[in-house]
Amino acid sequence: MGDYEEQDFHVTVRDNNISEAVPSSSDAMQQQGLKRWIQIAICIIFILVGESIAVLLGRLYYNKGGNSKWMGTLVQFVGFPVLLPLYYIFPKQENAPKMHPPLLKLKVASIYIVLGLFGAGASMMYSVGLAYMPVSTFSLICASQLAFNALFSLFINSQKFTPYITNSLVLLTISSALLVFQTKSSLPEGVSKGKYVIGILCAIGNSAGYGLSLSVTEFTFQRILKNGSFKVTLDMIISLSLIASCAATVGLLVSGEWKTLKAEMNGFELGKMSYIMTLIWTAMCWQVYTIGSLGLIVKVSSLFSNVVAALGLPIVPILAVIFFHETMDGVKVVSILLAIWGFVSYTYPAYLDLYKPKTNNQVTTNVSTTYVNES
């Protein structure tokens, strides 16, 4: 009888310890979830700020006398050296998984080369489309990258489509499509119909290429690298930027556009120094955008990264009103509201999942797991 009471006493103490451990475990999970959302929020800010300012500076470059398509491509990648000090600022992760040489390293290097060259080609088409088309029409076609990315994510990343995601994609696509009505349908000044058609084809090619590259990047992180640490992400950014910069430089030299750069700088309406600073800050903004984009691919998915990029498309007209004194009409306002609605539709369910109270079954499972581990 005494043994039975002593045994019951020990079981009661163990149960009390378990009941006290459950809240602390739940608090730790919420803290991890909050930290993850803070990181996601930072990446979103990087994408929106980097994309908006880079597009405006690109438009400023072409409006004030810039003509080089390969230079417009090069500035999207060449700013990567400013990221090198981050290797020394952030500490190394000692427990990070190491790659198994040499086959895996060769496979990763091959993927980096392909993605870098692919990115340079897509960015070249982006530059041609931006130069030969009105911003509104260009934004419309850029919105199609959501559909391309969704299609590639379905087959490459096994992306599951919930009603919220589908609703978000539709709203964001309509939001950007509305921008086509903000200007007249006439061709840009100095652009022939032939060049306009080339611009449309290049814009479509850029959208398809960008959507595919995002899906392949996500696949590389999840299936090959299997590591989403800051260092691995930084390795990919710098590697891809280096390869794409080399490809753009070769294109600049082979095309002969480098011969006109001096005259282009001398004839820039805002002056030589403004010409240089426009290119430098455009390069910096694209690097900020790239960090945010890859960060969201690692933390969430390539589709979500593309959703945030689509959210930034209606922001450009607002900034154009402030800096370029363009008009703000009702179509732009509706476009912005639809973009915000679509973004919230995508993120709100994830927010609810983070703070959804645990059911009794979940708590029981946690207690049972704790008891088994302690035993």
Q: Which of 330-359 are b and which e, b meaning 16 or more Cβ less than 10 Å from the residue's Cβ?
A: ebbeebbebbeebbebbbeeeeeeeeeeee
How does residue 346 score in pLDDT terms, banded at 50, 70 and 90?
A: low
Q: What is the pLDDT of residue 330?
A: 74
Q: What is the pLDDT of residue 20?
A: 46
Mean per-residue pLDDT, 25-48? 79
Give the span between the Cα atoms of 287 and 47, in whole angstroms: 10
Mean per-residue pLDDT, 331-360? 65
Between 187 and 340, the higher pLDDT residue: 340
Structure tokens at 177: 């499509």
Q: Is the pLDDT of residue 182 over 50?
A: yes
Q: Is the pLDDT of residue 2 over 60?
A: no
Structure tokens at 309: 């990029």
Mean per-residue pLDDT, 341-359? 62
Structure tokens at 67: 């003509």
Give Rg (Cα) of the chain: 25
Q: What is the pLDDT of residue 94?
A: 47
Q: What is the pLDDT of residue 17?
A: 47
Give the span between the Cα atoms of 26 and 34, in whole angstroms: 12
Other CB atoms within 10 Å distance of the CB of residue 128? 21
Average pLDDT of the chain is 75
Q: What is the pLDDT of residue 154?
A: 77
Mean per-residue pLDDT, 288-314? 80
- Could you say which DSSP state residue 185 is in? S
Exposed, middle or buried by CB within 10 Å (0-12, 13-18, 19+), for 149? buried
Residue pair 302/157 in contact by the 8 Å Cβ criterion: yes
How does residue 294 score in pLDDT terms, banded at 50, 70 and 90?
A: confident
Residue pair 273/67 in contact by the 8 Å Cβ criterion: no
- Write the pLDDT tens digit of every residue in 195-224: 878 887 888 888 888 888 888 888 888 888
- Write the pLDDT tens digit of every residue in 73-98: 999 999 999 888 888 876 555 454 55
Q: Is the pLDDT of residue 30 over 90?
A: no
Its pTM stands at 0.72
Mean per-residue pLDDT, 33-37? 78
Q: Is the pLDDT of residue 70 over 60?
A: yes
Would you call the peptide bond into 102 cis, given omega within 30 degrees of 0 as the criterion? Answer: yes
- Write the pLDDT tens digit of every residue in 122-163: 999 988 887 887 666 676 677 667 677 777 877 787 777 777
